Amino acid sequence: MSSVIRVEELRKTYRTGFWMRSVEAVRGVSFEVAEGEIFGFIGPNGAGKTTAIKMLTGLIQPTAGRAWIHGMPAQDPDSRARLGFLPEGTFFHEYLTAREFLHFHGALLGIPRAVREERIPQLLARVGLSDAADRQIRRYSKGMRQRAGLAQTLIGDPDLVILDEPMSGLDPIGRKEVRDIILALRDEGKTVFFTSHILQDAEVICDQVAILLHGKVVQQGYLDDLLGQEISGAELVVEGIDEAAFQRLSAMAQRAVVQGPRFLFEVDDENDAEKMLEQVRESRGRVRSLVPRRRSLEDLLVEDVAREGRS
Ligand SMILES: Nc1ncnc2c1ncn2[C@@H]1O[C@H](COP(=O)(O)OP(=O)(O)O)[C@@H](O)[C@H]1O
Ligand SMILES: [Mg+2]
C-alpha cells in the first residue's frame, strides 16, 4: 500500500542571529499517512509542527531526512498537484469577499471560470458561509475566516489536505465546525493532515496521531492502538445509599465525591467496580451510570512529559 505522506528521519536545524545559534526545530521525525486517513500532528507551541509542514510542502529544505507526497519527493512541485494547504494564520485579502477570494485562488490554479462558478457556491455552503459569501472578509469572525481558509484549500478538489492549526483561536463551537468539515472530507475519501496544540481535537477525529515535543515524536500510532484497549478503571455514579453504604463504597474506591443526592466513585480496577455494584444492590441503592474510563491522549502526553523530565 502506498502512503500519501511519508516522512523519514526528517530534521531541521535553524541558524539564527549574529552568532548563528542553532535551533533544532525538528529532530528526526518519521511517519506515514495512509490514504483516506485523518492524521493529527499534535504538540505545544514551538514543538516543530509548522517547521515539519514547511518541509512537507516544499517551502523549506530539510537539514536531513526525506519527505514524499504521493510517492514524489516533497521538493518536487508535482507532489503538490493534488494538495490543498492551509498555512498557519492564513493571510487574507481583507477587502475581498469570500466569493472573490475563492475565485482569486481558483484562477491562480487555472480552474476555468465555468467550473469555479459551479464549485464555489458548493464550497461556501459546505463551510457554512453561503449567507456571508458577499461580505468582505475583514468583517468576518475568526471562525468564519478559518472556514474561508478551509474553502480555499479545497478549491482545487485536492486528495490531500494539509492544515496548520485549523482550530487555533476558535471557540468550542467553531472548533466543532472545523472538525466536522475535516470528518466530511475523510468521508469523501480525502486524506487530512492537520496540526493542533489541543489534544482533544485529535482525540475526537483522528485515525492516527503523532505527538511532538521539542522536535521529537514521543507518541505515535493509531488512536485505537494507543488508547483503545487500555481501559483504566471506571466511574460509578449511584444514589439512594445511606451513610454506612457510602463509607463501605468509599473504602473500595480510589476517589469518592458527593454530588448533591448522587455519589461518584472512581476505581482504577474494573473488578472493583463489579464488587461495588453488588454492594450498591445490597444497600438498595440505584446505579445511575457505570462508565469505563479509557486512557486519554492527555494521560499519554502527561506520561511523556514526565518521562522527558526524568531523562
Ligand atoms: N525561521 C526560523 N528561524 C529560526 N528559528 C525558527 C524559525 N521557525 C521556527 N523556529 C523555531 O523552531 C522551533 C519550532 O517552531 P515551529 O515549527 O513554528 O513550532 P510549532 O509550529 O509547533 O509551534 C521554535 O523553537 C521556533 O522558535
Ligand atoms: Mg505552528
Instruction: Give the start-to-end residue ranges of the domains of the chain.
Output: 3-227, 231-294
For residue 47, what pLDDT is reported?
Answer: 95
Nearest ligand, CA 52: 1
Residue range 3-25, pLDDT digits in tens: 999 999 999 999 988 888 899 99
Cβ contact 265:253 at 8 Å:
yes
- The phi and psi torsions of 124 (rounded to 5 degrees) equal -60, -40
Query: Could you tell me how many residues make up the chain?
Result: 311
Region of poorest pLDDT, from 42-51, 90-99, 187-196 = 90-99
Q: Atom 12, ligand 1: which residue's CA is nearest?
A: 25
Which residues 6+ apart lie within 8 Å of 212 measured at CB? Answer: 29, 41, 42, 43, 47, 48, 49, 52, 218
209 and 221 in contact (C-beta within 8 Å)?
A: yes
- Decide: 41 and 7 in contact? Cβ < 8 Å: no
Contacts of 15 (CB under 8 A, 6+ apart): 21, 22, 23
- Asked whether 23 lines ligand 1 (CB < 6 A), one says yes
Q: Is 51 in the pocket of ligand 1 (CB under 6 A)?
A: yes
Instruction: Report the C-alpha gap between 124 and 130 in whole angstroms.
Output: 5
With a 6 A CB cut-off, is 45 part of the ligand 1 pocket? yes
Q: What are phi and psi of 283, to 5 degrees?
A: -85, 5
**Residue 230: its pLDDT value, please?**
62
Look at the alpha carbons of 99, 88, 199, 223 in this order and tell me if their dihedral is positive or negative: positive
Sign of the four-CA dihedral 212, 42, 189, 102: negative
Mutate to test the pocket of ligand 1, among 51, 196, 213 (most ligand atoms within 8 A of CB): 51
Residue located nearest, by CA, to atom 10 of ligand 1: 25
CATH number for the 231-294 domain, one of 3.40.50, 2.60.40, 3.30.70, 1.10.10?
3.30.70
Predicted confidence (pLDDT) per residue in 238-265, tens digit: 999 999 999 999 999 999 999 888 999 9
Burial letters 272-292, b for 16+ CB under 10 A, else e: bbeebbebbeebebeeeebee
> Which ligand ends up closest to the CA of 60?
1
Ligand 1 near 14 CB (within 6 A) = yes
The answer to whether the CB of 55 is under 6 A from ligand 1 is no
Closest CA to 69 of 57, 53, 54, 61: 57
Q: Which residue has the higher pLDDT, 224 or 123?
A: 123
For 223, how many CA atoms within 13 A lie in the half-sphere containing its CB? 21
pLDDT of res. 204: 85
When the pLDDT of each residue in the chain is averaged and rounded to a whole number, the result is 91
* Residue 309, pLDDT above cutoff 70: no
pTM (2 d.p.):
0.82
pLDDT band per the 50, 70, 90 thresholds, residue 268: confident
Q: Please give the CATH architecture assigned to the domain spanning 3-227.
A: 3-Layer(aba) Sandwich (3.40)
Instruction: Identify the band that residue 271 occupies on the pLDDT scale cut at 50, 70 and 90.
Output: confident
Q: Give the three-state DSSP class for 201.
A: helix
- Confidence bin at 228 (pLDDT 50/70/90): low
Render pLDDT for 26-46 as a digit per residue (tens, 0 to 9).
999 999 999 999 999 999 899
Pocket of ligand 1 contains residue 104 by CB under 6 Å: no
Distance 287 CA to ligand 2 centre (A): 46
CA-nearest residue, atom 7 of ligand 1: 14
Assign 298 a pLDDT band (cuts: 50, 70, 90).
Answer: confident
Name the strand (E) or helix (H) holding 249.
Answer: helix 243-252
Q: Which grid cell sits at 224? A: 485505537
Could you tell me if the CB of 43 is within 6 A of ligand 1?
Answer: yes
Residue 92, pLDDT score: 73
pLDDT tens per residue, range 158-179: 999 999 999 988 888 999 999 9
E strands present in the chain: 3-16, 21-34, 38-42, 64-69, 72-73, 83-86, 160-163, 191-196, 208-213, 216-222, 231-239, 255-259, 262-267, 286-294
Task: Kindly give the interhelix angle for 98-108 and 142-154, rounded to the nearest 10 degrees.
Answer: 30
Return the number of other C-beta atoms located less than 10 Å from residue 26's C-beta: 28
Strand partners for 7: 31, 67
